């Protein structure tokens, strides 16, 4: 686990590396997620540095095309499910969790799991999982989409309801776009809508 004193230095170092690696829009989004995660961690009395680290690294696997992400997963022997191969935008989460551990030397399993599940969620998420899942969706730079204002409000008042709304909005969007749905997103909605 990261020592508290080291975290600020690590955040700065990682931020500089990501700024060089990610496209400018992706980097701005990443910083938005990091600061949103910090605000949510304060609200829910969680470790702020941990939330910032997970927020900063949540898209570290998104520095290249989906096709190249698949190739990197093969190279690093990261197993991909059929659903992930059908829905390529999901792959960066697994790749990112691997890179956070191996390249950025994060040995905090809570942070690794928050990165791993930030796109689909999962049933019975940890508080950090929920914070990163929602921060990715609600950060200030996100384009306004139907339901976003309500999710933003609920994220700071009823986090489980916010997770349910976020998963529901994602499922509705994917159905409307006639795009494949990852089963984990559906399981997340089922779990949190009860």
Mean pLDDT of 160-185: 94
pLDDT more than 90, % of the chain: 87
**Does residue 177 sit within a domain?**
no
- The per-residue pLDDT for range 130-168, each reduced to its tens digit, is 999 999 999 999 999 889 999 999 999 999 999 999 999
**Does residue 30 sit within a domain?**
yes
Q: Is the pLDDT of residue 114 over 50?
A: yes
Q: Mean pLDDT for the chain?
A: 94
- List the CATH number of the domain containing 133: 1.10.3210.10
**Does residue 163 sit within a domain?**
no
**Does residue 71 sit within a domain?**
yes
**Does residue 191 sit within a domain?**
no
Q: What is the DSSP string of 16-62?
A: HHHHHHS-HHHHHHHHHHHHHHHHHHHHTT--HHHHHHHHHHTTTT-
- The per-residue pLDDT for range 72-94, each reduced to its tens digit, is 999 999 999 988 998 899 999 99
Domains identified in the chain, total number? 1
* Confidence band of 9 (pLDDT split at 50, 70, 90): low
**Does residue 157 sit within a domain?**
no
């Amino acid at each position: 686990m990261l020592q508290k004193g080291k975290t600020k230095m690590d955040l700065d170092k990682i931020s500089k590396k990501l700024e060089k690696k990610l496209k400018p829009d992706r980097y701005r989004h990443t910083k938005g997620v990091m600061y949103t995660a910090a605000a949510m961690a304060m609200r829910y009395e969680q470790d702020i540095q941990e939330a910032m680290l997970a927020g900063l690294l949540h898209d570290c696997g998104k520095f290249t095309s989906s096709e190249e992400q698949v190739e990197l997963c093969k190279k690093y022997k990261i197993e991909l499910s059929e659903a992930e191969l059908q829905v390529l935008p999901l792959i960066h989460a697994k790749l990112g969790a691997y890179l956070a551990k191996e390249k950025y030397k994060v040995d905090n399993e809570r942070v690794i799991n928050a990165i791993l599940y930030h796109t689909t969620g999962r049933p019975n998420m940890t508080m950090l999982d929920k914070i990163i899942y929602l921060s990715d969706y609600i950060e200030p730079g996100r384009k306004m989409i139907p339901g976003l204002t309500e999710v933003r409000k609920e994220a700071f008042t009823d986090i489980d309801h916010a997770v349910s709304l976020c998963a529901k909005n994602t499922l509705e969007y994917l159905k409307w776009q006639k795009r494949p749905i990852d089963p984990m997103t559906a399981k997340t909605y089922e779990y949190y809508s009860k």
